[in-house]
Amino acid sequence: MSITTRFAPSPTGYLHIGGARTALFSWLLAKSKGGRFLLRVEDTDRERSTKEATDAIIQAMAWLDLAAEGTAVFQSDRFDIYNSYIDKLLAAGHAYWCSCTPEEVEAMREKARAQGKKPKYDGHCRELGLGPGEGRVVRFKGPQDGVTAFHDMVKGPTAVQNAEMDDMILRRGDGTPTYNLAVVVDDHEMGVTHVLRGDDHVANTPRQILLYQAFGWDVPNFGHVPMILGPDKAKLSKRHGALSVMEYKNMGYLPEALVNYLARLGWSCGDQEIFSREELVKLFSTGNLGSSPSVFDMKKLDWLNAHYIKESAPERLAALLPEFIGDQDGLKLDPAYLASIVPLLQPRAKTLVEMAEMARFFLVPAEALAYDEKAVTAQLTPDSKALLAELLPMYETAADYADHKALEAATQAFLDERGLKFKAVAQPLRVALTGKTASPGLFETMSVLGKPEALKRIRRALAL
């Protein structure tokens, strides 16, 4: 039996971390069973939905490589379909017209609240047999007793008293359909068999099941994944920092790192931490989804990102790097050169932003190299400069800069002759070449810089 899942965001903003995770889980659920994954844009609220948000969501999903099958379904294109289904419900006696105004309904809720009861619409028009009319809404005529039960893929058996639910609106006063109606119609028409969504939808599920039953349709499987919390254990929000998936891209995270991180947030497979896309597809199962909320931990994301940076092909990273380098004036940015730098930075950078910063001294010409003042005073002393000056001729004659080991051996031989320790030159030479006291390996750096550039830098340092 083939399964179908879907991700159904409402385009009122960018794709946030929580949405991305549900999308990922839905995608994985489909792929792990060889099923289909669909995308539906829930834009029935015409005021809050925007084209920009829709594009941003699709772009973010593309970055995460969560491809949906076929073209996305837009609910705003389908109002006629929803209305025809509402008519069916009306005809079958599962729905009724209601003339109560929002103010009247609010008063009913207040009254119920005051009595310590659950705020609900009181069913005023339920048996009035009203017909259509200006501003009237259509409500679902739900059962007033009994229970609606379902087996949640993550929470297990779940049941709600029907008396807890009021007669939800299916069609608004302006003729547009509401969320619960549209979702049920679409999930049915799209053949969705498994619905994985955020925890905040649990309360909607029994209502939707009632609708499925009223229509006489098969009820899909539901699963509700707990939400993601900020470090203070409150619901993750803007004040916790980046929420948008694309902000993570801009902060220099690799999509596979985010995917791996998100997959492990609320899901597990024994002790395994690192998962390739293929492994995720192979190993994913809703049975291993956790049922308690989890805190988003940037440090662990950093660790995963560092891991994937180390694993990446230098050429790929080199191609991504330029967009993280601000003020590119006069910088040497050709792809081959960048690709030669990247391997020296891969073990050191946690993000591409960091990598771009670390790469900077490689990219500026010797004349423009910024020397750290403290480093210069501490390392480029008269003594160490004298030693560098002695070394210079050797580096001028050394032919093979491509082989950093040869450079190192030559330097070592020079030092041995004089009975000097490596430490005597290491830091001064490093400052001369990089302007800083911390850098990748000296001779690898020298080798990547190339002979003319390296010599220019040493000469410039001697003149400081």
Q: Which is nearer to RNA, 34 or 129 (CB)?
A: 129
Q: Which is nearer to RNA, 317 or 336 (CB)?
A: 317
Q: How far is the CB of 345 from RNA (least distance, A)?
A: 9
Residue 124 CA: distances (Å) to CA of 130, 178, 353, 432? 11, 20, 60, 84
Residue with tokens 């690192």: 274
User: What is the C-alpha separation between 83 and 450, in angstroms, rounded?
Assistant: 71
CB atoms within 10 A of CB 376: 18
Q: Which is nearer to RNA, 146 or 216 (CB)?
A: 146
Find out whether 171 and 181 touch, Cβ atoms under 8 Å.
yes
Residue 342 CA: distances (Å) to CA of 315, 349, 443? 8, 10, 15
CB atoms within 10 A of CB 363: 20
What does 337-406 look like in DSSP terms, one character per residue?
HHHHHHHHHTTT-SSHHHHHHHHHHHHS-GGGPPPPHHHHHHH--HHHHHHHHHHHHHHHH---TT-HHH
| DSSP, res 49 | -
Phi, psi for residue 244 in degrees, rounded to 5: -75, 135
Catalytic residues: 238
Q: How far is the CB of 161 from RNA (least distance, A)?
A: 7
User: What is the C-alpha separation between 392 and 385, in angstroms, rounded?
Assistant: 10
Q: How far is the CB of 39 from RNA (least distance, A)?
A: 13
What order do you get walking across the sheet with 169-171 strand by strand? Answer: 95-98, 137-140, 169-171
Which H helix or E strand runs over 140?
strand 137-140
Q: Which is nearer to RNA, 325 or 446 (CB)?
A: 446
Find out whether 321 and 342 touch, Cβ atoms under 8 Å.
yes
Q: How far is the CB of 398 from RNA (least distance, A)?
A: 15
What does 393-404 look like in DSSP terms, one character per residue?
HHHHH---TT-H
Q: How far is the CB of 53 from RNA (least distance, A)?
A: 11
* Structure token pair of residue 160: 């709600």
Q: Which is nearer to RNA, 271 or 367 (CB)?
A: 271
Q: Which is nearer to RNA, 292 or 397 (CB)?
A: 292
For 409-421, letters b (16+ CB in 10 Å) and e give: ebbeebbeeeeee
Q: How far is the CB of 404 from RNA (least distance, A)?
A: 8
Q: How far is the CB of 329 from RNA (least distance, A)?
A: 27
Q: How far is the CB of 413 from RNA (least distance, A)?
A: 14
| DSSP, res 300 | H
Q: Which is nearer to RNA, 2 or 420 (CB)?
A: 420
**The residue count for the chain:** 464
Residue with tokens 């410039």: 460
Instruction: List helix spans (H) across 202-325.
Output: 204-215, 245-250, 255-264, 277-283, 298-311, 314-320
For 145-161, letters b (16+ CB in 10 Å) and e give: eeebebebbbbeeeebe
Q: Which is nearer to RNA, 180 or 193 (CB)?
A: 180
Q: How far is the CB of 346 from RNA (least distance, A)?
A: 8
Q: Which is nearer to RNA, 140 or 335 (CB)?
A: 140
